Amino acid sequence: MSKPTIICLHGRGANAEIFEIQSMPLIRLLERRFECVFVNAPNECEAGPNILPIFEDEAPFYSWLGSNTSKTTSSYEAIEETIHLFDELESSTPNIAGILGFSQGAAVGLGLLLRDQRRRIMGLPCAGYRFGVFAGEVRLPVLFEQEDSGASTPSIESDYSRPLLGLKTPTIHATGRLDTLATRGTTLSKFEIGTLATEFTYEGGHEMPQTPRDNQYLAQWIDTLYDKC
């Protein structure tokens, strides 16, 4: 039997290879049990925060929502590309267990959990995510479901009209103690996300956790949660 899969989503202005390097301390603790699949976003963009000069030779860089300079129309088109990518990925990937996302990838990952929950409630095909692990979230989820269909509704705006998401999938939301990008009021609180959300503060800034202690905590949370499923 194949290992359960964790879908791994990089931040804006990075790519799958860079995110694999950034998250390697955690991945090494997970790979004995899980298959971690790193995915490139479909929209090419400029380098993101903390990418240059370290990863200047790793271009091209990608975004889930389009570039900072894109017009509204092209931003919606970029989100449509992202939705199509996940539709294909979810239908072709067996035994999906959860999502690991950083920065913009964390916000999109949370949106995917909401989309999956809505589809399950409506009796539509769904991926069946069991958990989400999110670090350095910088904006609200962007993938919601229409009330009367299974279609995704793209949104590039922070949706303050829906402060209580009511997510029933267990999640852990990790923020670096020195992360100024994730502490500007654009992230969701545990209360706003759902009763199964856990908050965690780790050492560092806008980056994936790097210390053994922090990564052991996350890996143990994932193992314990998956055992309960």
* 126-144 mean pLDDT: 82
Q: Return the structure tokens found at 98.
A: 């959860």
Report the alpha-carbon distance of residue 25 to residue 21 in Å, rounded. Answer: 9
Q: Does the pLDDT of residue 190 top 80, yes or no?
A: no
What's this model's pTM, rounded to 2 decimal places? 0.88
d(Cα 22, Cα 13) in Å, to the nearest integer? 13
Task: Give residues with Cβ within 8 angstroms of 54, minimum separation 6.
Answer: none
Note the CATH number of domain 5-228.
Answer: 3.40.50.1820
Predicted confidence (pLDDT) per residue in 44-76, tens digit: 999 999 999 999 999 999 999 876 655 444 577
pLDDT in tens, 80-113: 899 999 999 999 998 999 999 999 999 999 999 9
Given a cut of 80, is residue 143 above it in pLDDT?
no
The C-alpha torsion from 185 through 189 and 193 to 199, rounded to 10°, is: 130
Tell how strand 152-154 and strand 43-45 pair up: unpaired
Structure-derived torsion over alpha carbons of residues 93, 98, 101, 105, reported in degrees to the nearest 10: 50
Contacts of 78 (CB under 8 A, 6+ apart): 42, 43, 63, 64, 65, 66, 70
- The phi and psi torsions of 138 (rounded to 5 degrees) equal -125, -5
Mean pLDDT taken over the chain? 86
pLDDT surpassing 50 at residue 119 = yes
